[in-house]
């Protein structure tokens, strides 16, 4: 199970790297289009459309990454004043809440993809992108997000029931000792 945890975490990180390169590539595409427009003449490259797809896909895959990195914003007015056991309970509850929302989004996203496939919808631009391609990747991100939440809940429960050392359980749930959990860790502090 720990192996699966590491595998999923790594998968999530890889997906973020791939999305990062995709964002960088769209940056160059956008830049190229601006340059052409201002130096020579307006040429339709479709950078706005493509970068929109890249953005939509990147954020859905980023949602799962935020779960692993504990980056989803939580208000810790109460959290900071309770003991580690209560924190663990709140962490699990948080994952459940995220799982419910993620599950609803994943279901609606899949419905949208279904419709697109049914009607073979294409974008109303010169590119005529078959919309199922970006939407499939987008919906998959939502499913991975929901799956990650469910897996983490299960993982923590299994660790608890198998009598794993408290420290290990807390680490898996991301129970924090000092740092305020509502604060996304500053990029500089992460090096």
The count of residues interacting with other proteins (CB under 8 A) is 74
Positions in 125-144 near other proteins (CB under 8 A): 134-135, 138
Work out how close the CB of 118 gets to other proteins at its nearest, in angstroms, rounded to a whole number.
13
Taking the complex as a whole, the smallest distance from the CB of residue 163 to other proteins amounts, in Å, to: 26
Q: Which of 17/167 has CB closer to other proteins?
A: 17
Q: Compose the 10-49 pattern: x for residues touching other proteins by CB under 8 A, - for all others.
A: ---x--xx-xxx-xx-xxx-xx-xx---x---------xx
Maximum Cα–Cα distance for the chain, whole Å? 69
* Residue 176: C-alpha distances to residues 9, 36, 91, 147 (Å): 19, 50, 10, 23
Contact status: 170 vs other proteins (CB under 8 A): no
Q: Which class for 120: exposed (0-12), middle (13-18), buried (19 or more C-beta within 10 A)?
A: exposed
Question: What is the Cα–Cα distance from 116 to 138, expressed in whole angstroms?
Answer: 13
List 8, 109, 159, 169, residue binding other proteins (CB under 8 A): 109
Of 10, 108, 133, 162, the residue at the interface with other proteins (CB under 8 A) is: 108
Distances (CA, A) of 76 to 8, 63, 73, 115, 172: 27, 20, 9, 41, 19
């Amino acid at each position: 199970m720990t192996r699966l945890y590491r595998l999923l975490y790594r998968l999530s990180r890889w997906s973020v790297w791939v999305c990062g390169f995709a964002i960088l590539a769209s940056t160059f595409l956008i830049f190229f289009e601006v340059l052409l427009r201002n130096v020579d003449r307006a040429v339709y490259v479709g950078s706005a459309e493509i970068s929109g797809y890249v953005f939509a896909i990147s954020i859905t895959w980023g949602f799962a990454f935020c779960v692993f990195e504990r980056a989803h914003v939580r208000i810790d007015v109460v959290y900071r004043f309770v003991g580690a056991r209560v924190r663990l309970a709140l962490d699990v509850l948080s994952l459940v809440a995220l799982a419910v929302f993620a599950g609803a989004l994943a279901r609606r996203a899949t419905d949208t993809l279904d419709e697109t496939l049914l009607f073979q919808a294409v974008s109303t631009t010169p590119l005529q992108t078959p919309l199922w391609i970006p939407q499939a990747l987008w919906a998959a991100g939502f499913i991975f997000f929901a799956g990650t939440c469910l897996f983490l809940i299960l993982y923590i429960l299994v660790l608890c029931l198998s009598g794993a050392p408290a420290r290990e359980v807390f680490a898996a749930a991301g129970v924090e000792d000092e740092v305020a959990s509502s604060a996304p860790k500053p990029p500089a502090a992460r090096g």
